[in-house]
Amino acid sequence: MKKLECGKAVSGALRQYYRDIWEKRPLAWSVVSSNPLNDICNLLGIQVAYPENYACVCAAQHLSEKYCTIAESNNYKSDLCSYIRNNFGFLLDQGSEHPLGGLPKPDVITVVSNACLNYIKWFDALRLHFDVPYVLLNTPHKMSQDDDPSLYVDYVAGEIEEAIKELEKISGRKVTSAKLKETAHYSREQGKYWREILELNKSTPAPLNFPDLANLIFVPTSLSGTELGLSLLKQAYEEVRDRVKNGVGAIDDERHRLILLNIPPWYRLGISSYFAEKGCVLPFGDYTRYVWCTQDIDDSDPLEHFAYKALGMATDGGYGSSTVETLYGPLEKRIEEDIKAYNIDGAVVQINKSCKIMSTGGLDIARFIRDKMDIPVVVLDADQADERFYSDAEFKQRLDAFFDALGE
């Protein structure tokens, strides 16, 4: 598989980001998801650390067995999301070496409820663990077709204003309207380039495979609303555009194009090589295309921009985030359109015990793809960050049968 040149710049930014969270203060612990509090923290010079990203790092370094076991022995039961268990395992494992040196103690906990409901409880528990201020941005979920974002935008904008006041106190700085406007602009532009990259991936051969996209998503989420984030995405976009122009694919011999639904098992990202050996590329999935609400949101009123971003619901015929909109109705339509546009000929639907929001309804979606789209579907069971119950042999056995169904 071919790596992106700009990957070096992204890795450099990631290393700098981890240096910054150790060297600069104040520090927030926050949620990655389409979260305007991160844009505002970045604006105010508050460093942001992401326990969920860190849980992925721990899982990728095969530490989930250790951390989940520690968390479970402290009553964070195995039913809970493995990000939470990795996180509390790390926190409760005092005196050990941790990947990247661990995460420094926060000065504030911030959370947005658009990610999933567990996150609110997780970050509430972190607040109580660290005894630091807590900023919660509550955003309603779309539970029915008539839940229009315009119903909620005033409420969420009001909540953001309150959050800004709290964050200003913590940083000792003020959010000026010029700065807020600039940040909203970066946020909107980052969304634009992310969408452009995903559009380019409709090309055959696909210029990017799933792991490329999973690495790149660090930029519009963790560097949200920053000039640096925008410049990295521009670089990535230009490189991907050149790949398309020159017919360069992410894998050598692309014979099948698959959709991947759900969060991948971070401890076994290398499984994409197994797909690649069989000529299968994964040009998009809900995790890279639907979760982050990178739809185009007008930024002329920055507060409103951030309110719509936080809501994550579809606006003006666009697509919101599947975590907020849940998995039904619009998602079917969207999957149907995307399966056609990306020329997809097989679907990998993962059921992931840790992520209820991305798994509830997954079986209905699998049935929809198989019956209505008439393409082979494989349903796999794998947790996102708890490696203990994963079996490579079982995974491959099911995949082999799926590859047979796909044909040559």
Partner 1 sequence: MDSLEKLHGIISNAGEYITGFKQKSGKKVVGVMHPIVPQELIYAAGLYPVRLFPMKKETITKAHESLQAYTSSIFRAIWDQVLKGGFDFLDAVVLPESCETVTYFARGWQYNRPGDKVFTFSGVRYHKNENGEKLFRKQSERLIKSLEDLSGQKVTDSALADAIDLYNENRRLLKEIFAFRKEQPPRISGTDFFAISLASAFLDKQEANAVLGKISDELRKTGGAGDRSKKRILLSGPCIVDKKIYESIESSDAYVVADDTNFGLRSFNSMVDPDKEPIAALSNAYADVPCPFSTSAETRLRVLEELISEYNVDGVVFAIEKFCEAETMDFPYLEKNIKEKLGKPVLLLETEFLGDLAPIKTRIDAFVESIQ
Least gap, CB of 309 to partner 1 (angstroms)? 16
User: Which residues make up the interface to partner 1 (CB under 8 A)?
Assistant: 74-77, 79-81, 84, 113, 116-118, 120-122, 124-125, 128, 136, 138-147, 151-152, 154-155, 158-159, 162, 325-329, 351, 353, 356-357, 359-364
Task: Give the separation between CA 82 and CA 189, rounded to whole angstroms.
Answer: 33
Least gap, CB of 225 to partner 1 (angstroms)? 23
Beta carbon nearer to partner 1, 116 or 347: 116
214 φ, ψ to 5°? Answer: -65, -35
Beta carbon nearer to partner 1, 60 or 91: 91
On whether the CB atoms of residues 18 and 201 are closer than 8 A, the answer is no
Beta carbon nearer to partner 1, 7 or 140: 140
Least gap, CB of 252 to partner 1 (angstroms)? 37
β-pair type (47-49, 377-381): unpaired
Least gap, CB of 110 to partner 1 (angstroms)? 14
Least gap, CB of 236 to partner 1 (angstroms)? 32
Beta carbon nearer to partner 1, 40 or 135: 135
Query: Cα-atom radius of gyration of the chain, to the nearest Å?
Result: 20
Beta carbon nearer to partner 1, 142 or 289: 142
By three-state DSSP, how is residue 5 classified? coil
Which whole-number Å values give the CA distances from 168 to 104, 106, 162, in the listed order?
A: 21, 16, 10
On whether the CB atoms of residues 54 and 29 are closer than 8 A, the answer is no
Return the exposure string of 121-148: e unless at least 16 CB atoms fall within 10 Å of the residue's CB, then b: ebbebbbeebebbbbbbebbbbeeeeee
Least gap, CB of 112 to partner 1 (angstroms)? 11
Neighbours of 14 (CB within 10 A): 17
Beta carbon nearer to partner 1, 125 or 228: 125
Beta carbon nearer to partner 1, 157 or 240: 157
Distant-in-sequence, close-in-space partners of 288: CB < 8 Å, separation ≥ 6: 198, 210, 213, 214, 217
On whether the CB atoms of residues 126 and 54 are closer than 8 A, the answer is no
Neighbours of 15 (CB within 10 A): 11
Least gap, CB of 218 to partner 1 (angstroms)? 26
Give the closest residue to 35 by CA, choosing from 198, 225, 274. Answer: 225
Beta carbon nearer to partner 1, 152 or 267: 152
Beta carbon nearer to partner 1, 138 or 235: 138
Within 13 A of 295's CA, how many CA atoms are on the CB side?
Answer: 21
Give the closest residue to 328 by CA, choosing from 141, 194, 202. Answer: 141
405 φ, ψ to 5°? Answer: -65, -30
Beta carbon nearer to partner 1, 11 or 74: 74
On whether the CB atoms of residues 358 and 262 are closer than 8 A, the answer is yes
Least gap, CB of 138 to partner 1 (angstroms)? 4
Least gap, CB of 137 to partner 1 (angstroms)? 9
Least gap, CB of 339 to partner 1 (angstroms)? 18
